[in-house]
Structure 1
Amino acid sequence: MPSPSYYPFVPSTPAAMLDVWKLGIMAFELWTTSFSTIAMRHGLWQSQSPTSARMIKENQRMVTEKLEAGLETGFEIQKAMLQMTFGGGTPWWITGRRTMTPFHRRSSANVRRLSRRR
């Protein structure tokens, strides 16, 4: 029977430390792009009629993106838990990046898209 692979809680190799650094950068980018997106959408809500086709489309897009990102994140968490169940495992810094990627990708795209509209 193969022995399960265990990863230390604290990264000990340069590659693992780089992955932790990338996770931190991704978290910071997600934080800043989320605030920017919220501010730009808030500006749209103040300047547009709530029943206009553009606002309805933007609100539907916002809800759809959040649901899709939540589902993708849930699938990543399920994969990580199944790996642990069967004796495998992935370090937290890799799982963290995988679970944040759907929200990060959409938030970055929203900032680019909404900033062009002005």
Structure 2
Amino acid sequence: MKHATPTALIPMSPFAMMDAWKVGMMALELWTSSLSTINHRNQLWQTQPFFSPKMMKENQRMVTEKLEASMEAGFAMQKTLLNMLSGQHAPWWVTSRQAMQPYHQRSRANSRRLSR
């Protein structure tokens, strides 16, 4: 019976270390852009009436984007799970980047858009 070699929990090659570093940087960027977006939206909610068309559109956009990002991240995790069941294993630094990518893209875009 052929046994699969387990992948290391700690990246050992320079390329794997760089990928793990990119995951950390992506998480940091996601954190900072999320805080910025939350701050900008709180300012909007405090300065404009909630029933104005601009605020209704912004609130609708916020919910839609969060649902889309969570669905994309869920699909990435499902793909990873199915790959694991078929014998293909990707290390944590690859799967975490794939799962964070939808949130990261939308958070950065919102932070840039709302800061104008």
For residues 35-60 of structure 1, the C-alpha deviation after alignment (integer angstroms, 9 at most, x for no partner) is: 00000000000000100000000000
Correspondence for 1:31: 31
5+ residue gaps, structure 2: none
- Runs of at least 4 residues of structure 1 off by over 2 A? 1-6
For 1:94, give the aligned amino acid: V
Correspondence for 1:100: 100
For 1:47, give the aligned amino acid: T
Matches within 5 A, 1:1-118: 4=4, 6-116=6-116
Using structure 1 for the length normalisation, give the TM-score: 0.94
5+ residue gaps, structure 1: none
Give aligned pairs, total: 116
Q: Give SS of 1:81's match.
A: helix
Pairwise CA RMSD: 1.2
Using structure 2 for the length normalisation, give the TM-score: 0.96
